[in-house]
Every structure is written in structure tokens, then in C-alpha cells.
Structure 1
């Protein structure tokens, strides 16, 4: 386990990238249930994508579902500052 620093208060991943204060599980659940409104994307700070999902109803649900699955399974999802989402 790494020691938190001011630059990475939640630690760093094995590649040395700092962890976000945001959780990929929370983002995935928000996207799964409220993805047609872009809730998971708003949560992680991807406002442009969130607005796209909002105005297309999450790609009629398909875009929202795929995005939720990617939040749950991917280890490379980042927040607005480029920090890796915590698991």
C-alpha cells in the first residue's frame, strides 16, 4: 500500500497514477439506473458526454447501458482531473 501524499491523497495505482476521490462503482450504478440523464458522467465530471446522453436519452438506453458496463469493468476510467477512479 502506498502512503498518501498531497498530490495523491487517495494513493496511487500500480502504474503510479493518483486515485480519484470518485468511485467507479458509484459511477456505474448511477449510469445503470440514471444513465439516460447522464448521471454517471456528471458524477465523474464528463459534462460534455453527460449532456450528449441527456439530450439523446442515453442513446435510447443502449449508450447508458454500455457506459455502465465499462465503468464496472474498466480500470482506466478517469475523472475530470485525469485521476483513476477508485474501485
Structure 2
């Protein structure tokens, strides 16, 4: 009896549903950083989105609203990506 060949994982954390390898960054860590230090844009710096992070830094996270919504989106959304476009692992 032979088993069908499994394609090898494309990355150390496996492959996302979109076929790309998962990121080495975690959406839970990004969400926690964004929740507590979002007015400084730390969650976005962590994921490599420097432009958005600087905008959050300059606006104090959109007076806190932008950073709070961003933190919730990191926790709730399953398609958040890092700078290379890889899905954050959950």
C-alpha cells in the first residue's frame, strides 16, 4: 500500500491557505504590541510596515482609536500579512 506524496512545507511554519508560507511573525504578538504600545506604532514596526508605523507614531495611534482598531483586527482577522505579504501565523 502506498500513500500519496505530501508536498513539502514551503516554510518552517507551514503553508497558509493562500499557498504562501506563513510568516515568522505572530499575529498574537503583533496584536498585544499594538494594544499596549499602538500609539507608538510598535505592532506595525514588528510586522515590517514602517510607513504605517511612522504615521501611527506621529498621530499617537490616531489618538488611540486607530491603534485600538488595528489591535482588534490583528486578533480577529486571519489574513493579516507581514511586509513580504506572508500571512501572520496565529
Q: RMSD of the TM alignment (CA)? A: 1.5
**Offset of residue 3 of structure 1:** 4.1
2:55 maps to 52
Following TM superposition, the consecutive aligned residue runs of length 4 or more in structure 1 with deviations greater than 2 angstroms are: 2-5
- Kindly provide the CA deviation profile for residues 25-51 of structure 1, in whole angstroms up to 9, marking residues without a partner as x: 000000000000000000000000000
Q: Which runs of 5+ in 1 are unaligned?
A: none
Q: Which runs of 5+ in 2 are unaligned?
A: 1-6
More strand by share: 1
Relative to the length of structure 1, the TM-score reads 0.91
Higher Rg: 2
1:72 maps to 75
1:29 maps to 32
Relative to the length of structure 2, the TM-score reads 0.88
